[in-house]
Amino acid sequence: MIVECGDRSRFISYDDIYIQETNMYAYTYATSFDGEGAITSAIDYVVSQDFPQLYLLQGHGESELPETFAQQVEKENIVTTEFSLLTIDAVPEEADCVMIYAPSSDISQEEKDMLADYIANGGKLFVVAGAIEEGTLTNLFSLLTEYGITPSEGVVVEGDSNYYAFQMPYVLLPDILSSEITDPLIEEGYYVLMPVALGLNLRDSGGNGTVTELLSTSALAFSKIDGYNLTTYEKEEGDLDGPFTLAVSIESNSGGQIVWFSSSYFLDDMYNAYSSGANVDMAVNALASLIGDSETMAIRSKSLNYNYLSISEFAASILKTTMIGIFPCAYLAVGIYVVVRRRRKQHETI
């Protein structure tokens, strides 16, 4: 297909409509239909004059954007540019949004001040960052403190089996709270996964802005202060009590906005696949809310194979008990009853 308007055109190939991806974990191929998304993206491209500019901060060991998320950003006609605050005096004016993705080291105080000034002047900041293996992200997380948000030490572990998946209490299955960003997921009944997350504590914002909680743990969650070096999922002395917030949306009184996800693995392709694409959808919705483009809300491709079923560990245990224990025992009991009843009838006849 070719979509054309004026001097602009875009070719949509068969591979753009029927997307085939390799699942390296199951050694299979997954095919999905993305005709609606591809055509909508092409129309938006040929009729638009200006495209949103997403600036990706570099210089702190940031990870590359995961393939699935990067493809979705490209499909939404968002132009990405890498930049470093170490070589400039301020965030470029043409940046519609600045994204910080999974840094492995902290930003400097000077960089923090530049980002704070950017937000104070109406800038938009999108952060996917949580616990790191060595050290802390003190300066980066200090961007949240003036809004009454403080990070906890360590990694969040769930104590309620309804709130984690795959028998791993650090792969969190949080509550999704209502907001512009999350409502499309809630309406469709999707869940997101937050692996190796850092807990956020919300207090009074001090009148500096409005904080909206997007994801939260159960009241039984706690933070293991040992972080990546934890040796047990049981609560120990010194571990911090929950509940915790795992994602927030902030509207500053100055007009600036921040969306923050406290897990550096939130957009990882593997966890996104396990959530049936809900993680990337939520991130794209968050990005849309920042750049002010409601039309950017993600159009899901339709799987022609299957989607993963995301359920809590508690629900998985109930299913296992029912399918492996209760059903076989029930059938066995019925069988014994039928045999005994028939033998009694035969004996009475004799």
Mean pLDDT of 242-246: 95
Average pLDDT over every residue of 99-103 = 97
- For the ranges 40-44, 65-69, 310-314, the lowest mean pLDDT is seen at 310-314
CA distance 184 to 285: 9
% of residues, the chain, pLDDT over 90:
55
219 pLDDT above the threshold of 90: yes
Q: Which residue type sits at 23?
A: N
Q: What is the DSSP letter of 229?
A: G
Query: Is it the case that residue 132 has pLDDT exceeding 70?
Result: yes
Q: Give the pLDDT confidence of 225-235 residue by residue, as tens digits.
A: 998 988 899 99
CA 165, 167, 169 angle in degrees (round to 5)? 70
Range 234-243 average pLDDT: 92
Q: What residues does 167 pair with on adjacent strands?
A: none
pLDDT > 80? residue 264: yes
Widest distance between CA atoms in the chain: 103
Q: CB-based contacts of 47: which residues, under 8 Å, 6+ apart?
A: 5
The per-residue pLDDT for range 23-41, each reduced to its tens digit, is: 544 556 667 777 777 787 7
pLDDT beyond 50 at 298: no
The answer to pTM > 0.85 is no
| Residue predicted with more confidence, 278 or 304 | 278
| Mean pLDDT of the residues in the chain | 86
Mind listing the pLDDT tens digit for each residue in 55-88? 999 999 999 999 989 988 988 889 999 999 998 9
